[in-house]
Amino acid sequence: MNNYKFSGPTVSPNTYAGQFAGKYIAAALLSGETLAKDLITIHPNVAYKEVIRNWQNSVSIADATCDFTDSSSITLGEYVLTTTEKQVNLQLCKNQLRTTWEAAQAGFSAFEKLPADFNEFLLAQVAAEVAQAIELGIWTSTLFYNGTAAEGMIGYLLDNSAITRTASGATTGSNVVARLQDMLDYSPSALYGKEGYQFYVGPSTMKAYQAALSAGNYNFQFYVGEKPMNFQGIPVVMCPGLNDYDCVLGLKSDLHFGTGLLSDTNEVKVIDMSDIDGSQNVRVIMRFTGGIIASNVGQQVVLNVS
pLDDT for res 258: 95
Across the range 199-220, mean pLDDT stands at 82
Q: What is the pLDDT of residues 9-52, one digit of tens each?
A: 566 667 878 777 888 888 898 889 999 999 999 999 898 899 88
Fold of 152-254+296-305: hypothetical protein PF0899 fold (3.30.2320)
pLDDT at 221: 47
Helices (H), the chain: 22-30, 33-36, 94-106, 118-139, 152-159, 176-186, 203-215, 274-277
| pLDDT value, residue 75 | 56
Alpha-carbon Rg for the chain in angstroms: 24
**The predicted structure's pLDDT at residue 27:** 87
pLDDT-above-90 percentage for the chain: 51
Q: Give tens-digit pLDDT for 265-301.
A: 889 988 888 888 988 888 889 999 999 999 999 999 9
Those residues whose C-beta lies under 8 Å from the C-beta of residue 22, and which sit 6 or more positions away, are 261, 262, 266
The mean predicted confidence, pLDDT, of the chain is 83
- The angle, 0 to 180 degrees and rounded to 10, between the axes of the packed helices 152-159 and 118-139 is 20
The C-alpha atoms of residue 188 and residue 178 are separated, in whole angstroms, by 18
Q: Give the residue range(s) of CATH 3.30.2320.10 domains in the chain.
A: 152-254+296-305
131-159 pLDDT tens trace: 999 999 999 999 999 999 999 999 999 99
Helix (H, G, I), strand (E, B) or coil at 220: helix
Predicted pLDDT of residue 39: 97
What is the reported pLDDT for 291? 96
* 230: amino acid identity, one letter: N
What is the structure's pLDDT at 42? 95
In the chain the first and final C-alpha atoms are separated, in Å, by 60
